[in-house]
Amino acid sequence: MQNYSGIQKFLHDFVLSKKFINKSLFELEKIIYLKNKDLKKQSHIFISSLPRSGTTILLNFLFSSNEYASLIYKNMPFILSPNLSKLFNKSNIPKKERLHGDGITFDINSPEALDEIFFNNDEKFVKNELVNYIQLILLSENKDKYLSKNNFNYKRIDLIHSILPNSIFLIPIREPLQHAYSLLNTHLHFRKLQQKNDFIRRYMNYLGHNEFGLNHQPWNNPIHFKDLNHINYWLEQWCLFYKNILKNHQTYNNCFFIIYEELLNPNYVKMLLEKINLNRVEKLDLNYFKNSNKKEININYSKDTYDNAKDIYMDFKHKFILNLKYLA
């Protein structure tokens, strides 16, 4: 997005800012491509959590199995018409590091968190069209199972499950101080980028990426800490988010809570793949996840908030690290 031409920026602004364009193309795509196919028996996967918890690396890992269809950069900006979008988009993006500056690379065929454009409609539309939309994505890639990364779908677990009862939700959780430090730095990084280039702000806003930068929206109303430029804000958001997730979904058989640090253990990764019934376990690199190097944190933070976060984190580890008992 940073190096888009003027024409590319205009096209994205024009299409993504006007829902009727994407919805009209969606209706046209249904007429041309849609088939009556039963998707509800498949184990579609929805990855959702706080950003910087390993959601993207988990998405890329599962996508590398070649067993799932996902929305990819080639679908931009016509996100609701995945088949037609490939006819429009003939560009070729060489593999490069994404704007986060975290070492994760992408190209035109890489999966990305794009389906918020679909979910950012009224609930009636989502209920009526989710199966159709996923079927169009599957048809575009000739696959049977859908893989999504959307950090807001944690709010829709019950809704999605009611429509696709065999769906699986992967919810990563990361050591809180390291996670909060990463959230803070990413926020400051995107705020600076958006101040220099307003298209980056608009682009992220179109996709519902309000996690960082000038348009940041909190996951929960802050209680004690409201300064976005301080780690305590992000630590408190961490506590509120995972406390609610644990309270609301820990007994759901379709929710898989993934301990981020344990992904370095190939046995843990193998156990996870077996739990989600991925057929091509033997074709995946169980050492795919690399050590992210624990950062030395030399800034002041609230000890009480961190202690609270550590208690929540250890509660997750105690419940889910050994046998994934709620995931069987």
Separation CA 115–CA 113 (nearest Å): 6
Contacts of 288 (CB under 8 A, 6+ apart): 57, 61, 64, 269
Over residues 77-93, mean pLDDT: 80
The pLDDT, as a whole number, for residue 128 is 95
Contacts of 19 (CB under 8 A, 6+ apart): 121
Boundaries of every domain in the chain: 6-327
DSSP 328: -
Going along the chain, which residue ranges are E strands?
Answer: 45-47, 68-69, 96-97, 105-106, 145-149, 168-173, 255-259
- Cis omega (within 30 of 0) on the bond before 77? yes
Structure confidence by residue, pLDDT tens digits, 171-223: 999 999 999 999 999 999 999 999 999 988 988 888 888 999 999 999 999 99
Model confidence at 106: pLDDT above 70: no
* CATH class label, 6-327: alpha beta
Over residues 55-67, mean pLDDT: 93
Does pTM surpass 0.85?
Answer: yes
Q: Is 12 helix (H, G, I), strand (E, B) or coil?
A: helix
